[in-house]
Structure 1
Amino acid sequence: MTVDPASRSVRGLTVLITGAASGMGRATAELFAAEGANVAATDLAEPAVRELADGLQAKGLTAEAWGLDVADAAAIVTVTDAVAARFGGIDVLINNAGISAFAPIDSQGYEAVWDRALAVLLTAHQRLVRAALPHLRRSASPRIINIASTEALGATARDSAYAAAKAGVTGLTRALAVELGREGITVNCICPGPILTGMTAAIPDADRATFARRRTALGRYGRPEEVAHMTLSLALPAASYITGAVIPVDGGLMARNA
């Protein structure tokens, strides 16, 4: 496929998205499909991600679904190769799959939380990059976009496992940007702040409102679609000189001192 390097369209590009069944991943899949991309939606929740793909197909958009546990190294290779075979390659990898991983450092179950956090939130990212790399190298507009968190930039009590994994994602992003840059493969990272997703749904409305008013410049939680649009921007062929960036999408959370 020939791609205009100045293009501001992802039409015809193949995008592999992990954690696509809900939240930011779902919004990202819907946006890329609406923009004409071939969407490979993956998630541990296979029925939900298949429902997403079926809904997109019903609208005349191009999407396929795969069940994927990103903690399963063998499954990553199998699914990545299946995506490339189905669509003739991979142009954009979006490492979005995530879990909540909060535990006090001295709690009995901390080691298990730590191991799971690193497996899903960090190790899976490098495994997906390694699996997708042969396909990305054949793309005319290769992009890797990792989803981290503002918890990588400033932590919360009892989230050391989560924060460490997310900080690892920012380090991995910068290192791979340097390593892969001469091949024209860009690697960037988005750090969402407080976003209205399944992970934050359990927080009482009043507590969310108080936090947003006190901590963010915009005074509100973000919507998954607002993160998805930043992801789309980094995936554009025209975004070819942006790499190694760590970009907060946080309503001004990290900019605010008090």
Structure 2
Amino acid sequence: MSDAPDRSRSVAGRVAIVTGAASGMGRATALLLAREGAKVAVTDLDLAACEVVAREADANAKAFALDVSDGEAIKRTVAAIAGHFGSVDILINNAGVSSFAALDAADYDDVWTRAIAVMLTAHQRMVRAALPWLRASDAPRIVNIASTEGLGATPGDTPYVAAKSGVVGLTRGLAVDLGRDGITVNCICPGPIHTGMTDKVPGADKVVFAKRRTALRRYGEPEEVAHMTLSLVLPAASYITGAAIPVDGGLMARNA
């Protein structure tokens, strides 16, 4: 048998960074990791909202304000997180923005630029900033949150589709580049989930969509995505890399 790394199914004592952790899937992920014993850096634009999540996570979390569209802020914040906790083992690139825009909309270019900055460029910047510490970890894990919009498309959503498709490609490229360092890189593609981004969709429309388009006939909960993230960052998940995993209630499996 080859020399094997830690195959445990515990993240206790691991240091995790979660972006966009003040609400939705990021919040659910931060809280789940903290409950499982990880030390969690809760990052988002709103420091006060991050502090609420960190308090809920108790002693296993600390809040950090971070605008992921700011490259210099990423460098400073990742260094501060590593300085506070002493290491970085897990990086969850979750921060996102709603980016619906018609092609002929006056603000299309602005929506496009922000979508790519927050949901694609920021991912590679976070990875590069965290690399020295990830390379020093004995079970380094990166999970990028993409979307089923990175596997298909919805009308009027090209900036978001482009960004999330880029995340799928970036994940594969990073997996190949970082495999020699033992760093696994995977992405999750959530489908219809109850989050702030979907709050504007009327409840009746959600019911119709879910029954028509998903095998499970319902919207998912942020915690259901968080549990897949947890599975991918376990030390035991040491031979899964470059994967794009739908967490979509069977949305991609249905033809109509």
TM-score normalised over the length of structure 2 = 0.97
Q: Which runs of 4+ in 1 moved over 4 A?
A: none
- Name 2:27's counterpart in structure 1: 26
Report SS of the residue matched to 1:55: helix
Report SS of the residue matched to 2:196: coil
- Name 1:183's counterpart in structure 2: 181
- Name 1:171's counterpart in structure 2: 169
Deviation of 1:55 (Å): 2.3
2:65 is aligned with 1:64: no
2:196 is aligned with 1:195: no
- Name 2:209's counterpart in structure 1: 211
1:1-258 aligned at under 5 Å gives the runs: 5-57=6-58, 61-258=59-256
| 1:127-179 deviation digits (Å, cap 9, x = unpaired) | 00000001100001000100000001110001001000000000000001001
Query: Matched residue pairs, number?
Result: 253
| 1:15-46 deviation digits (Å, cap 9, x = unpaired) | 00000000000000010000000010000121
| 1:173-214 deviation digits (Å, cap 9, x = unpaired) | 000100110110000000000000011011110000000000
Report SS of the residue matched to 2:97: coil
Deviation of 1:215 (Å): 0.3
Deviation of 1:107 (Å): 1.3
Q: Which structure 1 residue ranges, 5 or more long, are not aligned?
A: none
Report SS of the residue matched to 1:16: strand
| Structure 1: distance between partners of 2:105 and 2:86 | 48
Alignment RMSD (CA, Å): 0.9
| Structure 1: distance between partners of 2:239 and 2:76 | 31
Report SS of the residue matched to 1:214: helix
Q: Which structure 2 residue ranges, 5 or more long, are not aligned?
A: none
Read off the aligned partner of 2:136 and give its amino acid letter: R
| 1:32-69 deviation digits (Å, cap 9, x = unpaired) | 00000001000012110111112222xxx410000100
| Structure 2: distance between partners of 1:90 and 1:30 | 17
Report SS of the residue matched to 2:197: coil
Read off the aligned partner of 2:195 and give its amino acid letter: T
Q: Is the 8 A contact 2:31 2:56 kept in 1?
A: no
| Structure 2: distance between partners of 1:131 and 1:182 | 18
Deviation of 1:6 (Å): 1.2
| Structure 2: distance between partners of 1:45 and 1:254 | 34
Read off the aligned partner of 1:254 and give its amino acid letter: M
Deviation of 1:4 (Å): 5.7
Report SS of the residue matched to 1:199: helix
Deviation of 1:7 (Å): 0.2
| Structure 1: distance between partners of 2:119 and 2:246 | 17
Report SS of the residue matched to 2:109: helix
